[in-house]
Amino acid sequence: MKVILVGATKGIGRAVARRLASRGASMSLLGRDKAELERSARDLEARGAAGRVVTALCDMADPDTFDAALASADADLDGFDTVVVTAAAFATQERLEAEPALLRRLLDTNFTNTILFCEAARKSLLSHGGGTLCVVSSVAGERGRKPVVLYGASKAGLSAYLEGLDHKFRPQGLVTVCVKPGFVTTSMTEGLPAPPLAGTPEAVAARIVRAIDRGTPVVYAPGIWALVMFVIRLLPRTVMRRVGF
């Protein structure tokens, strides 16, 4: 595999990078912090990565960096067949309601800019004959819920985009994988109380890599969230207004 990975310096992205490196994948790690990218690359090499590991600057807050980052990765890897996007922003509903600037940054990062990056990646993959585009969304986008109105809206839009992408371009060779984690114990959720079904980056990464291998269009992580969200989708609005979930 020749993989471009956005978000490999922490959490789920780091766990995915380590798992892919252990299988011999060559990777280009994209991110906005050069020092962190280099540390992540050296970490993979120290763990015995058999494939090549390179880095390129790419800021999900700045779409003007996307094309150059993809071109750099393409040149360094001599082509690529897989793109994995785990980078995202998160903040509590209370903070987002109170801080309009933070809300705008989150919406731009999770929805507009992620889609712009995916569009650039899609075009590049299809120009090479196809490949896999795997993007981390969230169960928060499954249905409007009081604790995650704004964050959930950003992920709902992303999930809908990825589903449409899969419908339209899979016949042309583009396999789209939408990952929907529940609560995962990472730096992004640090300080928040972990619910009973909380997952770990390593467990989520295992499901992501398996979904990439199989071309699974939608994967929940941990898997129990598929059942949880099936039930949530069936609840009438009158019930959803009364519960705090």
**Between these two residues, 186 and 168, which has the higher pLDDT value?**
168
Question: In the prediction, which pLDDT does 137 show?
Answer: 97
CA distances, 91 to each of 15, 105, 145, 190 (Å):
22, 10, 15, 11
In this structure, of 12-26, 88-102, 154-168, 231-245, the range with the lowest mean pLDDT score is 231-245
- Delineate the domains of the chain, giving CATH numbers in brackets: 2-242 (3.40.50.720)
Evaluate the omega torsion of the peptide bond into residue 222 and state whether it is cis, within 30 degrees of 0. yes
Half-sphere exposure of 116 (CA within 13 A, CB side): 17
Digit-coded pLDDT (tens) for 4-17: 999 999 999 999 99
By CB neighbour count within 10 A (0-12 exposed, 13-18 middle, 19+ buried), where does 191 fall?
exposed
For the chain, what percent of residues have pLDDT higher than 70? 95
Q: What is the H or E stretch that residue 56 is in?
A: strand 53-57
Question: In the prediction, which pLDDT does 108 show?
Answer: 97
Closest to 178 measured CA to CA, from 226, 227, 211: 211
| Cα–Cα distance, 208 to 177 (Å, whole number) | 9
| Cα–Cα distance, 172 to 53 (Å, whole number) | 29
Residue 243 has pLDDT above 60, yes or no: yes
- Reported as a pLDDT band with limits 50, 70 and 90, residue 119 is very high
Residues 6+ apart with CB under 8 A from 114: 60, 85, 87, 88, 135, 158
* DSSP string of 136-191, one letter each residue: E--GGGSS--GGGHHHHHHHHHHHHHHHHHHHHHGGGTEEEEEEEE--B-SGGGTT
Q: DSSP state, 134?
A: E
Whether residue 151 lies in the annotated active site: yes
- Span 213-222, mean pLDDT? 96
Choosing from 151, 161, 220, 225, the catalytic residue is 151
Residue 192 has pLDDT above 70, yes or no: no
**Between these two residues, 197 and 227, which has the higher pLDDT value?**
227
Mean pLDDT of the chain: 93
pTM: 0.92
Residue 189 has pLDDT above 60, yes or no: no
Question: In the prediction, which pLDDT does 194 show?
Answer: 60
**Between these two residues, 191 and 3, which has the higher pLDDT value?**
3
Q: Are 43 and 19 in contact (CB under 8 A)?
A: no
Question: In the prediction, which pLDDT does 29 show?
Answer: 97
Q: Are 221 and 180 in contact (CB under 8 A)?
A: yes
Question: In the prediction, which pLDDT does 147 show?
Answer: 93
Digit-coded pLDDT (tens) for 128-149: 999 999 999 999 999 999 999 9
Question: In the prediction, which pLDDT does 188 show?
Answer: 57
